[in-house]
Amino acid sequence: MEFDSVFLSRMLTSLTLGFHIIFATIGVGVPVMISIAEYIGIKKNDPYYILLARRWARGFTITVAVGVVTGTSIGLQLSLLWPSFMKIAGQAISLPLFMETFAFFFEAIFLSIYLYTWDRFKKPIYHWLLSIPVVIGSSASAFFITTVNAFMNTPQGFELANGIITKLDPLKAMFNPATPTKTFHVLTSSYLTSAMILAAITAFAMIRGKRGVYEQKALKLTMVATLLFAAGTALAGDLSAKFLAKKQPEKLAAAEWHFETEKGADLILFGTLDKNTHNISNEIRIPKALSFLAGNSFETEVIGLDQIPKEEQPPLWIHYLFDLMVLIGFFTLFIAAVYLLLLKWKKGNPHNKPLLWAIVASGPLSMLAIEIGWIFAEVGRQPWILRGYMKVTNGATTANNVGSMLILFILLYIALATISSIVLNKMFKKKPAEVELNERYAHMISK
């Protein structure tokens, strides 16, 4: 079977991005958790929390390395695979791209300093202060790069004629209608996923019998963080849906199988679709909820696919992605709430096996939700690469060798994924937390 460059370029881009966002998400969220843990540790003079920050930071070095190299890949691949697109977009969005690298630079410098100065300061709070620029840098780079993606969804701030951009307003392009909800959603969901993954690792250790003070404190901290970030993510998701209803109705309509424009539109959960008749069966239908989601009133009019030209409609399978992402989001919120209730309730046992297993599961599930959410967001704006301006087919490279490059990158990512998992695993098995605690902080525990 022959594939054309457009298809192969899409595959290679999704592969690189799909692989990168695993590490990028960790890269944005874990510094926040490290910083919080170290701060609590210093304020309470509690060695457990400091050790927590230290061990997280150590594992973080591996994920950062993979994040940096895959980030470099996607940065350059934009030009290698989408030269015509970058020729246009380069004129309009190079400012946030440029600022993203600044933020990344800033983060890289302070992360290096942070990692190598644990015992160099007399006052531990000075070392903690170094984590602030790391958090600012990683979140700022997520913010800037997301504005670029937001621009591709709702381009504005320029006029385009014959491939030449005129009347450009860089700030208007950067702060386009999609920017607030998208960046908010990306940041909260990254924090949430990172907290959840750290919680999952701890819960897994507990299942395997390590139930010391270290693990209990780790789980409590990560679950409180999970609850807060999950609430933030839910709010961001709600705002995103309202944004879509207003500015990108075709994405919401395809996600909800909403064919006819109407007031009091129903929300459809799950179900199957007959491709020809557009009949939906096996669904759970919540009356008028879509209208409420779109505009906070059961009578809001929601634009349906009937108002979108056929060749500009996104594929209808994104409905499943949307459902799954939302479902996982609420699952993590629920798990965190149950854990904290059991912790508060005197007779409760927050460390029971079923709950621990649920926490273990929600780590990978959250990462899955990130992947699914991004696929939903990206496929949901098909066939556009620059919505309303340029279709994907016109942006791809005309070079012939994309297929062999795709194979090379598949091999690379398989190798990186395998080896980084082995290295991370070995890193923590070599020296368990209690051993390290006794080596480093014996004087603090005994008193």
Partner 1 sequence: MSTEILGITVLWLFLYGYVIVASIDFGAGFFAYYGKRTKKDHIINHIISRYLSPVWEVTNVFFVFFFVGLVGFFPDTAYYYGTALLVPGSIALILLAIRGSFYAFGNYGYKDNKLFLFLYGATGLLIPASLSMALTISEGGFIEIRGDQVVLLMKELFLSPYAWSVVFLAIVSVLFISASFLTYYADRANDIEAKQLIRKFALTWSGPTILASLFVFISLRAHNLRHFENAIDLWWMFALSFIFFVGAVYLIYKKKAYGTAFIFVMLQFFFAFFGYGASHLPYLLDPFITIYSGYTNETMGIALIIAFIAGLFLLIPSLFMLMRLFLFDAEYVKGRK
The number of beta carbons lying within 10 Å of the beta carbon of residue 247 is 16
User: Which residue's CB is nearer to partner 1, number 91 or number 313?
Assistant: 91
Q: How far is the CB of 433 from partner 1 (least distance, A)?
A: 17
Which residue bears the tokens 């890289």?
108
**Given candidates 3, 102, 330, 357, which one binds partner 1 under the rule CB under 8 A?**
102
Which residue bears the tokens 């008749």?
277
Spatial distance between the Cα atoms of 328 and 322, rounded to a whole number of angstroms: 10
Q: How far is the CB of 125 from partner 1 (least distance, A)?
A: 17
Mask of contacts with partner 1, 395-414, x by CB under 8 A? --xxx-xx--x--xx--x--
The verdict on 176 binding partner 1 (CB under 8 A) reads no
2 token code pair:
């022959």
The verdict on 245 binding partner 1 (CB under 8 A) reads no
Q: What is the residue type of 232? A: G
Q: Which of residues 145-174 bind partner 1 (CB under 8 A)?
A: 165-166, 168-171
**Given candidates 111, 160, 302, 367, which one binds partner 1 under the rule CB under 8 A?**
111
Q: How far is the CB of 413 from partner 1 (least distance, A)?
A: 9
**Given candidates 11, 14, 40, 91, which one binds partner 1 under the rule CB under 8 A?**
91
Which DSSP state fits 272?
Answer: E
User: Which residue's CB is nearer to partner 1, number 97 or number 338?
Assistant: 97
**CA within 13 Å, CB half, 436:** 18
Mask of contacts with partner 1, 271-300, x by CB under 8 A? ------------------------------
Exposed/middle/buried for residue 379 (C-beta within 10 Å: 0-12, 13-18, 19+): middle
Exposed/middle/buried for residue 280 (C-beta within 10 Å: 0-12, 13-18, 19+): middle
User: Which residue's CB is nearer to partner 1, number 7 or number 298?
Assistant: 7
User: Which residue's CB is nearer to partner 1, number 68 or number 308?
Assistant: 68
Q: How far is the CB of 95 from partner 1 (least distance, A)?
A: 5
Q: How far is the CB of 302 from partner 1 (least distance, A)?
A: 37
Q: Which of residues 58-87 bind partner 1 (CB under 8 A)?
A: 58, 61-62, 64-66, 68-73, 75-84, 86-87
**CA within 13 Å, CB half, 131:** 23
Spatial distance between the Cα atoms of 19 and 413, rounded to a whole number of angstroms: 7
Spatial distance between the Cα atoms of 73 and 67, rounded to a whole number of angstroms: 10
Q: How far is the CB of 112 from partner 1 (least distance, A)?
A: 4
Nearest CA among 378, 249, 250 for reference residue 311: 250
Q: How far is the CB of 178 from partner 1 (least distance, A)?
A: 20
Q: Which of residues 115-134 bind partner 1 (CB under 8 A)?
A: 115-117, 120, 133
314 token code pair:
């996104």
Q: How far is the CB of 429 from partner 1 (least distance, A)?
A: 11
Contacts of 436 (CB under 8 A, 6+ apart): 51, 55
Question: Is the sign of the CA dihedral 163, 169, 170, 173 positive or negative?
Answer: negative
Mark the segment that binds partner 1 (CB under 8 A) among 101-109, 247-255, 278-286, 311-319: 101-109
The verdict on 377 binding partner 1 (CB under 8 A) reads no
The verdict on 105 binding partner 1 (CB under 8 A) reads yes
Contacts of 375 (CB under 8 A, 6+ apart): 14, 18, 318, 321
Which DSSP state fits 270?
Answer: E
User: Which residue's CB is nearer to partner 1, number 368 or number 427?
Assistant: 427
The verdict on 207 binding partner 1 (CB under 8 A) reads no
Spatial distance between the Cα atoms of 426 and 327, rounded to a whole number of angstroms: 33
Spatial distance between the Cα atoms of 32 and 247, rounded to a whole number of angstroms: 32
The verdict on 229 binding partner 1 (CB under 8 A) reads no
User: Which residue's CB is nearer to partner 1, number 216 or number 420?
Assistant: 420
**CA within 13 Å, CB half, 55:** 27
Q: Which of residues 330-349 bind partner 1 (CB under 8 A)?
A: none
Q: How far is the CB of 195 from partner 1 (least distance, A)?
A: 23
Q: How far is the CB of 130 from partner 1 (least distance, A)?
A: 10
